[in-house]
Structure 1
């Protein structure tokens, strides 16, 4: 892959956008059904067209109409966003072609996931059930000033629905194929001083891959979550929001299958009885608890003080069979635990020509990752080809019996390694927007970050009895994984950075704004101890240049946005699976560039029909420079060159008291690689989802039939994985056609 534009922004794209911005547009009054989209990405309430960054927003009503209740379905409607979910414990977030999916304790996120104004970006704790939402905002490009250092490539911000004074409640029940069941609801009400809300969801679905080694089929889910919240308003100037989130998942596990078993809906996966994996079945047991307190004090018409404090803890255990076969060869588990706490104090100010905020925040976390391994010695060594000289064929389950002359039928082997992290950062930030002229606004922002990061690593790998009988004193991995004998190796580092952003927003007229952005992002240093010695990877640095136009087409109920961007990376960090030991480690791949276009449309051709469309084109990868080593010229993992989605929401009267409702979306993505080495590739995929039903004209009940992947397309979610290091690459099949029916009943004021 060549990147001839390295160091320069594509002038042809700039010229196209400037020409589009210069077209004469006439002012108009918006139709009643084309509501203004309000966002808070810049820490103040604004119309989305007045925000000088590329941002997508979906409110709770649209999320419900389109059936978006998971992170991966959210990505269908946001250009430049791809969400991959191997399991609830292992999520990959891709914004503009750059993936954030590091699950190790020392690793740092690239995408900030925010929940009610709080950073919850740690990979194993970032997922939560999407229900009873006020809105979701996705901001693209480095957003350190707004969302901290974890937002080196963008941020996903989830705002839950708040309590209200008037009584309201709703209940949804659903059922579908693969034994799908769903129960979801909420109730809210109160008085002038105190309002409460309780929302909950519980859903489950059997797996779509039959597991012949266990009763539970794979790639299913079993989730429950509830969210009590209080809003206290002792005066008109003071609002206190208290929100508690509880998420529990006991999913049956992920089907890592061989190529031969892919799309056969059949697997033979299990883990043996063991003392190290934490469970005796493949599966997930994950609990996340989160408490958030937000205080907003309107000091006067110009000043407002906000405090946000949060405490989050998680314990996520997952056991998996990594070889994709029925052999007891590669059985792993990961037990990730952590605690996070954060505090932010921010003063917002607004005047006739100056708006902005200043503030400080403190964040600290402790994280631990324990990886257990269980196998049978003879099976492992024969599958690894280590017993060929003894005349024992590959993956011979009788290898131990043959080597011991029948004295022993099996030799269980257990080992483990673990890493830990203690991280903290102190932030000082400010962002000021100045109205230079009635049509021109300039924004300058910066975040000063002071980070301290400490990392630890230990392992315990006993010697193999079979290798010892051959005079070889070694563990099963032949010393490729450092063995500390249980002793912890530790290292630490600190880092300071000043991360600025500059924005210009020019109002062409009442309907169209053109904007330009220059910003810098940084992904934290990584302290990698997995080699047995301290290895500090330098911070990943990103320079981002962006130009866009957003607004409403003259005399037409059509909102649009179009953006072009160019990003330059230094010290690009990539996660790779060691081809000898199977351990995941972080490497410095050198320089990288990323160029792209994003477009988004929302149109009401009639009062009853809303059309949504988006598209993104991305040319990204490691630069071809020889100094970038092994991955020079390679495309990023999970990065499609082209994504596009077309969706709609429609309703029409079918009687005096009934409406017919329907919604759907068709999504396309071009081919992707599943690894930075570009060994595993999947061709283009397009999926269709539809919903249709009837509802009361006052919307107090609805009956809906829904189908995802309606055409039952076969596609892959991931490939390679841990098994590839041992010559057993595995694949994860995407979900087949899922059909469900839901009934919703509402009471009170909506």
Structure 2
């Protein structure tokens, strides 16, 4: 197997590469070596108990709060740069893409399922529109790669990210940080921890982060791709006895960001009044975007609220038994308006209104008496209701010209010329071809899920350890779909209306001619017939249009012009893991694991072909992945060097992907089989007590097998990714200084599973007027250099740090394709340019 060949390569390169992931300390204890000369060992809780990372038989990355602060991480996208095999794309807080070992999880549909689970203290927050949260006041972040369904449950098909938030402690503590930078960047963090008694403490922390956009708005107003997030967290810790503890955690986050810069790669930015060219086609230059007149009564951008409450409980029943409880409620609502076509003309404006709420309860019993056997078992319940509405406003006059390929490329005609062209093209229907036609679709999902799981570890000998785990999941699900049309589209009905209008006009004129002949005894002149035709036509057109059904351009209404139609179904399955770990010594461990991950069955709806017809539902069977992984973990040079590496191979069955329908929607279908293999390796080396070096590298070869996209690469997945850097700290007689350089690099990525191949994007009448033959929806290899330099007087409570991100001002794109790609006019989103700033920190 390819994974085994990779294993031999990784062992052969051990001395040369020596990568590891012990760069972080997820708890403050040191378990290897002594003093500052050694790398702090990591303690993680992947297997539901505290373990040194050295002894965990899985590929796990732990990132401490101090490491995240030192390298300047404030969000998921920045964090992922230092986790091999993990990528995060952040179009906006409402549209993140989490990519683990080549597999992307980013579906915004209410019926979709996550492949990569995101957790806050063990609570799943994986629904894409509510998963992207600010990373502040944390204890650590644990990233587990590979099928983790057995340990984490639903959505952990190929990995899980668990955010461990800082809890209240029985000490008086506080800190604050204020940052300012170019593009009007400003961020403030603050935390205060107060003990109320020996057993009760509270903690309040928050963040405000804002920045103007870095993509110029060529039409004036707010620039695009900016930031605007405010988050608050309140925690209560109660320790009534030495054996009983509770943590109550409440989170609230509000996001208000300017529009995403969906820049057209087909149509040059022009003045929407004069038609004058005001920009170019470069994806990283300014964009001329605007909301449709009157649509949603607001500007482009996102308004989102995410809130949740979690209660953690732990009762130590005895030295061997521990009972844990996780209770949680969470909700989110988000409304994002964007210029989906990326062009100056108001062809298409779209919004996404998503909301969801969830309840969950988990009970787990752990047993570990220090003997040969240890185990845990549990039950969990999860309920979620979610909906995603996609209203859109279409300028029918422009849409008709676009769909008829009458818009000049790359520079469209001036608005006056286009209006005259439309009047001619639509003839007598021109007054009824609207500039603000509106239609909408809504997907709805409801899940009730019950899990039962158990995991056993047998210490066969002091060196050999075997683990086996199994989880059964039962889902009862409802997938719903509805669509509505506000005003019938004359454009969509033109082909059916024209013959009716012609026939009715002819019938009425014929009747007038007959009446004239009967009254006068002679036929009327052609002039008279023309006069009657001119008089009758507007009345006939008005009557025919008034009698139209509520026909849409892209979405046809469901029965009742918006009634929801549901599909109810059930799904169940079993996941497992089998692991063997062998300790060659106290500083060298190797493991092999076989595991199965599973993503539940998905049913998604879309409009039928005729107005008021029942929607069409498409079923995608449960996605199954079987994996084999080999890993090696070492601590060398008396604890100064930490190294972990893993090689893996996967086989997927019923790989789920999203494809565009003839109505412009997205549905989940099975793309057949797929295979992946790769290598991940990380290192942390303490050169001296004040100088640390770290490095990560990942190779990920993920390709589709037989099926829809045979031999294609997985989207958003670079074959190679690399990060390295250092933390250098030194002191003088009066001050402390530190310097933190980091460099991250990735190879080429594609942005769609169809890899932008022309064979998948032919011309489609009524949707894509011209075949997309240009393969430009990709990003070539690029790297980012970040620098941070800090200063603090000795024994002072404050410090100051200057930073520069993307020092070389590397131009790159973070996404391509998007909604416009369904119409054959892909849009592009630029990545962040060079940004510099300063941070003041205070500890009190």
TM-score, reference length from structure 2: 0.83
Given the alignment of the two structures, is residue 441 of structure 1 paired with residue 478 of structure 2, yes or no? no
1:550: which partner in 2?
A: 633
Tell me the distance in 2 between the aligned counterparts of 1:565 and 1:467: 51
Tell me the distance in 2 between the aligned counterparts of 1:610 and 1:743: 23
Extract unaligned runs of 5+ from structure 2: 19-30, 266-279, 499-547, 608-614, 757-776
Contact kept, 8 Å, 1:521 with 1:541, in 2: the verdict is: yes
Equivalent residues in 2 for 1:348-497, closer than 5 Å: 348-351=366-369, 352-385=371-404, 396-402=418-424, 403=426, 411-461=435-485, 462-466=487-491, 468=493, 471=497, 478=553, 483-484=558-559, 485-497=561-573
CA RMSD of aligned residues (A): 2.4
Tell me the distance in 2 between the aligned counterparts of 1:172 and 1:599: 33
CA separation of 1:414 and 1:659: change in aligned 2, threshold 3 A: same
Contact kept, 8 Å, 1:650 with 1:661, in 2: the verdict is: yes
Equivalent residues in 2 for 1:557-572, closer than 5 Å: 557-572=640-655
Tell me the distance in 2 between the aligned counterparts of 1:479 and 1:240: 52
1:608: which partner in 2?
A: 690
TM-score, reference length from structure 1: 0.93
1:734: which partner in 2?
A: 831
Tell me the distance in 2 between the aligned counterparts of 1:490 and 1:727: 31
Contact kept, 8 Å, 2:484 with 2:555, in 1: the verdict is: no
Contact kept, 8 Å, 1:568 with 1:593, in 2: the verdict is: yes
Equivalent residues in 2 for 1:540-689, closer than 5 Å: 540-555=623-638, 557-578=640-661, 580-623=662-705, 625=706, 628-629=707-708, 631-653=709-731, 655-679=732-756, 680-689=777-786
3-state SS of 1:692 partner: strand
Q: Which one of the candidate residues 52, 58, 83 is aligned to 1:53? A: 58
Give the C-alpha shift of residue 212 in structure 1.
2.8
Q: 1:480-505 CA deviation, whole Å, 9 max, x = no partner?
A: 75654212221021111111101111
CA separation of 1:35 and 1:483: change in aligned 2, threshold 3 A: same
Given the alignment of the two structures, is residue 11 of structure 1 paired with residue 30 of structure 2, yes or no? no
Q: Which one of the candidate residues 304, 322, 326 is aligned to 1:286? A: 304
CA separation of 1:279 and 1:598: change in aligned 2, threshold 3 A: farther
2:817: which partner in 1?
A: 720
1:701: which partner in 2?
A: 798
Give the C-alpha shift of residue 213 in structure 1.
3.2
Give the C-alpha shift of residue 727 in structure 1.
2.4
Contact kept, 8 Å, 1:598 with 1:617, in 2: the verdict is: yes
Tell me the distance in 2 between the aligned counterparts of 1:163 and 1:185: 14
Tell me the distance in 1 between the aligned counterparts of 2:688 and 2:92: 40
Give the C-alpha shift of residue 281 in structure 1.
1.1
Equivalent residues in 2 for 1:507-518, closer than 5 Å: 507-518=583-594
Tell me the distance in 2 between the aligned counterparts of 1:99 and 1:266: 29
Larger strand percent: 1
Q: Which one of the candidate residues 251, 271, 278 is aligned to 2:291? A: 271
Larger helix percent: 2
Q: Which one of the candidate residues 325, 328, 334 is aligned to 1:310? A: 328
Tell me the distance in 1 between the aligned counterparts of 2:784 and 2:13: 32
2:227: which partner in 1?
A: 221
Q: Which one of the candidate residues 333, 336, 342 is aligned to 1:324? A: 342
Give the C-alpha shift of residue 410 in structure 1.
5.4
CA separation of 1:543 and 1:65: change in aligned 2, threshold 3 A: same
1:233: which partner in 2?
A: 239
Q: 1:91-143 CA deviation, whole Å, 9 max, x = no partner?
A: 00001011001110000000010001101100101111000110001000010
3-state SS of 1:605 partner: strand
Contact kept, 8 Å, 2:801 with 2:838, in 1: the verdict is: yes
Q: 1:451-500 CA deviation, whole Å, 9 max, x = no partner?
A: 11111001013432345566256878656756542122210211111111
CA separation of 1:479 and 1:247: change in aligned 2, threshold 3 A: closer
In the alignment of these two chains, the number of paired residues is: 728
Contact kept, 8 Å, 2:440 with 2:555, in 1: the verdict is: no
Given the alignment of the two structures, is residue 29 of structure 1 paired with residue 33 of structure 2, yes or no? yes
3-state SS of 1:145 partner: helix
Contact kept, 8 Å, 1:492 with 1:527, in 2: the verdict is: no
3-state SS of 1:370 partner: strand
Tell me the distance in 1 between the aligned counterparts of 2:223 and 2:64: 35
Q: 1:41-77 CA deviation, whole Å, 9 max, x = no partner?
A: 1111111111111000011111111111100000111
CA separation of 1:339 and 1:382: change in aligned 2, threshold 3 A: same
Whose Rg is larger?
Answer: 2
2:260: which partner in 1?
A: 254
